Amino acid sequence: MHKGSISEQEFLKKLSEVVEANLHNEGFGVNELATELRISRITLHRKVKTLLKKSVSEYIREYKLKRAYTFLKEKRGTASEISYEVGFHNPSYFNKCFHEYYGFTPGAVLNGLVADIERDEQNGFTTRRKISRRKILIVTMAFLLFFAIIVGVVKPFKFQQKELEKTIAVLPFRNNSPDSTNAYINGLMESILNNLQIIEELDVKSRTSVEQYRNTTLPLSQIAKELKVNYIVEGSAAKYGDEIVLNIQLLDANSDHHLLGETYQRQIKEVKDYIDIQAEIATDIASKIKARITETEKEEIKRLPTENLAAYRHYERGNEYLKLMYSNQATYNHDESKRNQKKAKAEFEKAIALDSSFARPLLYLSNIYISNLGNSPNFELQSAYLDSGLFLAEKVLSLNDVVKGSYAWALNLKGTYYQTKGMRDEAMKYFKQSEKIKSNDFLKWHYYQSLAVRHFIFEEYTESIENALKCINHLPEEEKTPIYILQQLDMSFTNTGHFEQAKKFAEKEFFSNNDSISYLINLAKIEWSSENNQKALEYLGSAYKIDSTNTGCLYWYTGVYAWQKEYSTALSYLEKYILAKEMSGSEITPNSFHGFIFLQNGRHKKADSIFSVAIKHHEKEIEYGVQNANKFYSHGNLAGIYSVKNEKEKALEYLNDFNQRKTISIMWLKIFQENPMFDNIRNEPKFQEILADSEKKYQKEHKRVGKFLREFGEID
C-alpha cells in the first residue's frame, strides 16, 4: 500500500477509530463522520477520495463488511446478529452487500466454506483458499437437510426482521395522455408526494431531489441507492376528457419486490374526485410499508383545498409555469423567466377570482409579489408590490380552515416582507413563528440554508457563516450546494477580513457555475479588500481580456483606479461601463462615486447632475423605508455627497445615522478610511469618533468569525 505522510496516516487512523466507535449505529453516515472528525463534509470527501480512491459512504460500508467478516470467522453470533453488530439492521440487505463485496455469503464463512480471503481493492475482486469439495458437499447437504426440517416441522414460524426505515421517493410520472401537456400529470405526482409528506412516519424525498430522474433509464434499485431510500414510487398517468387513469407501482428497493402495482381509474367531475384518488393512493402506499396514519393526517390528506374544479386547474397550470420560471434554463434567460412568471401570475389570479379563499394560489401569488416583484428598482412599484403580497399572506392567515404547511408559509412570507424592508426584528419574529409550526420532517439543510440567507441579508456575518456551513454539512449527497450559499460564504469571509477562506469559496463557486469572469472579479474584490490593489488590477485585466464589455469588470476597474486617485484612467473605464449598460438595456443606478470621478476630471456639470439624481434616489429610499435605508446605506451615500459639496453639517448628520449599524464590513471601513469623497470632513472630531466606532465594530465581527473558525475546525 502507498505509504502516505504522517498527517495522512493520522487521518486514516482517526477515520477508522471513529467508524469503529460507531460500528453498530445504523444511522452513522457521512455527515456524522464529518462532525466527529471536526471537518467539513466536502473536506472529508476530498481526503477520502484522494487517499483511498473511494467515496466516504463506500469506505464506511466496506469497513463494516470487513469487521463483519472478522466476526463471522470468530463465530461471534449468527449472520443476523452480526449484521446488527456492524450497523446493518436489515439482515437480507446485509447478506446482499456482503455477497456483492466478497463474492460469497456470510453463511459460507460461518459454515467454514471459506478459509482465507484476500481482497484486491484496486480491481475489486476477492480470492480465497477453498476447502475440499467433499467437505463443501457434506456441509451443504447438512445445511439443506436442516433447513428442510425447519420448514417442514416449524412451518408457522416466521423469522422476525427489523422493519426497513420508511424512506421513500416519488419519481416524476410519465405522461401517457394523447396531448403532451404536463401540468396536469405533474400536479398529480406532486399532490401524491405532498400527501405522503404529511404522514409523520414517512421520510419523503423532495421534488427537487427526484426531478433529475425524469426520463431516466436507470433501474429503480440504482435510483433508490443514489437517493438513499428503501422504497420507490413510480407511475404513469393519462387524461382522456374528464377521465384519468393512473398506474402506480411501489418497489421495495432492497429486495426488488413490488409491493404495489395498481391501476386507478376515475371520472373527475369535481375537486373531491381528484382529492379522493390522491388520498387513496397515498393511503395504499402507506399501508404497504406499514406506516401509521393518524386521524389528523387523514383529515389533512382528504381536505379539499377548494370546491371549484376550474380554480384548481388554474392553480395547477400556474404552479407548472412557476417551475418553468425557476428551471435552470430560465435562470440563464431572464426574458424567459419573466414570461413564465407573468403566465403563472395570471393563472393564480384566475384561480383566486373563482375562489377567493383558495389558500394555495393566494400563497403563490403572495410569493411572486414579495420575493420577485418586490425587488423592483421603482420604489413606488416596489412598495405597492410588497404591500399586495403582504395583503395576500394576511388573507391566508385569516382563513378558518388552513393546513399548517400553508399557515407556516404565510408567516414566512410576512417575515420575508419585513426582511425586504430591512426591518430585522419584525422579520425574525414571523420567521420564528413559522418554524415553530413546520412539520418535524422539515429538512435540516433547508432550515440552515434559510437561516444563513436571513443573517446574511442583515449582515450578521458570523451567524450567516455558521448556518451556511451547517447547510453544506447536512446536504444529502444527491443535492448540490446552492450557488448563493457559496456566494454568501465568499462575501461574508471577505467582509470580515478572512481572505483565504473567501478565496476557497470563490473557487468552489467557480467549480459550481464555470463562470471564469465572475471568479476573476471575485478574486479582484478580495485582493482590493486586503489592500492589494495591484493584484486586483491583474485579475480584472484577465477578466477584461475575456470580455471587455462585462459590466462587473468595468465597474471594479473604475473603482480601483479611482481609489488610487488615477482619475483619468478611472473615467475611461467608467465611460465604457456606462456604454455597456446602455447597450444591454440595463438601468444604471445613481452612483455618487461616479459623480466624484467626473468632478475630478473637470466635468462639473455631469458631476452635479449625477449628485442631484443620487440625492433624490437616496432620499426616496429613506422615504419609502426600503432595505438600503433601513440598513443605513442610503445615509452613508448621502454623507459622502454632502462631504464633497462641503456641506459638513449635513454630511456628519447622515454619518451619525449610519453609525447606528451593529456591524461594519471591510468595504465600509475602507470607504471611511480612504475614500477621497470624505476628505473635506476627515479631520472633524465627529468623523474621527464615527471612524473609531466603525473600526471597533469591524474588529469585533472579524474576531467572532475567527473564533468560530477555530472552534469549527478545518474548512475546505
Cα separations in angstroms, 120 against 117, 125, 127, 376: 10, 5, 8, 62
Q: What is the mean pLDDT of residues 22-35?
A: 80
- DSSP conformation letters of 309-370: HHHHHHHHHHHHHHHHHTSHHHHT-HHHHHHHHHHHHHHHHHHHHH-TT-HHHHHHHHHIII
Residue spans per domain, the chain: 6-153, 167-294, 313-420
Helix, coil or strand: residue 477: coil
Angle among Cα 531, 497, 662 to the nearest 5 degrees reads 120
Closest CA to 164 of 262, 100, 32, 253: 253
Strands (E), 511-656: none
pLDDT digits 0-9 by tens, 237-276:
887 777 888 888 888 888 778 888 888 888 888 888 878 8
* Predicted local confidence at residue 181, as pLDDT: 56
Q: How confident is the model at residue 124 (pLDDT cuts 50, 70, 90)?
A: very low
Q: How far apart (Å, rounded) are the C-alpha atoms in residues 529 and 506?
A: 14
Domains 6-153 and 167-294 share a fold: no
Q: How confident is the model at residue 41 (pLDDT cuts 50, 70, 90)?
A: low
pLDDT digits 0-9 by tens, 570-629:
999 999 999 998 887 777 888 999 999 999 999 999 999 999 999 999 999 898 888 888
Q: How many other C-beta atoms can be found within 10 angstroms of the C-beta atom of residue 199? A: 25
Asked whether 104 and 114 are in contact (CB, 8 A), the reply is yes
Q: How far apart (Å, rounded) are the C-alpha atoms in residues 122 and 125?
A: 8
The whole-model pTM stands at 0.62
Q: How confident is the model at residue 205 (pLDDT cuts 50, 70, 90)?
A: confident
Q: Which CATH class is domain 167-294?
A: alpha beta
Closest CA to 628 of 650, 657, 656: 657
* First-to-last C-alpha distance (Å) of the chain: 27
Q: Which residues of 81-110 are buried (b: 16+ CB within 10 A; e: fewer)?
A: ebbbbbbbbbbebbbbbbeebbebbbbbbb
459: left (phi over 0), alpha (psi -120 to 50) or beta: left
Q: How confident is the model at residue 125 (pLDDT cuts 50, 70, 90)?
A: very low
As a residue count, the chain comes to: 716
Return the amino acid letter for 429.
Answer: K
Q: How far apart (Å, rounded) are the C-alpha atoms in residues 538 and 545?
A: 11
**Phi/psi at 91 (5° precision):** -55, -35
Asked whether 164 and 254 are in contact (CB, 8 A), the reply is yes
Q: Is the dihedral of CA 362, 384, 417, 420 positive or negative?
A: positive
Could you tell me which residues come within 8 angstroms of residue 339 by beta carbon, excluding any fewer than 6 positions away?
none
* Predicted local confidence at residue 586, as pLDDT: 75
Q: Is the predicted pLDDT of residue 160 greater than 50, yes or no?
A: no
Task: CATH number for 6-153: choose from 3.30.70.270, 3.40.50.300, 1.10.10.60, 3.30.70.260.
Answer: 1.10.10.60
DSSP 8-state class, residue 244: E
* Predicted local confidence at residue 145, as pLDDT: 53
Q: What is the mean pLDDT of the chain?
A: 83
pLDDT digits 0-9 by tens, 604-621:
999 999 999 999 999 998
HSE, CB side, 13 Å, CA atoms: give it for residue 160: 1
Share of the chain above pLDDT 70, in %: 87
Q: How many other C-beta atoms can be found within 10 angstroms of the C-beta atom of residue 299? A: 11
Fold entry, domain 313-420: 1.25.40
Asked whether 186 and 236 are in contact (CB, 8 A), the reply is no
Q: How many other C-beta atoms can be found within 10 angstroms of the C-beta atom of residue 53? A: 10
Contacts 24+ apart (CB under 8 A), 374-382: 374/417, 374/420, 375/420, 377/587, 377/589, 379/620, 379/621, 379/623, 379/624, 379/626, 380/624, 382/624, 382/626
* Predicted local confidence at residue 158, as pLDDT: 37
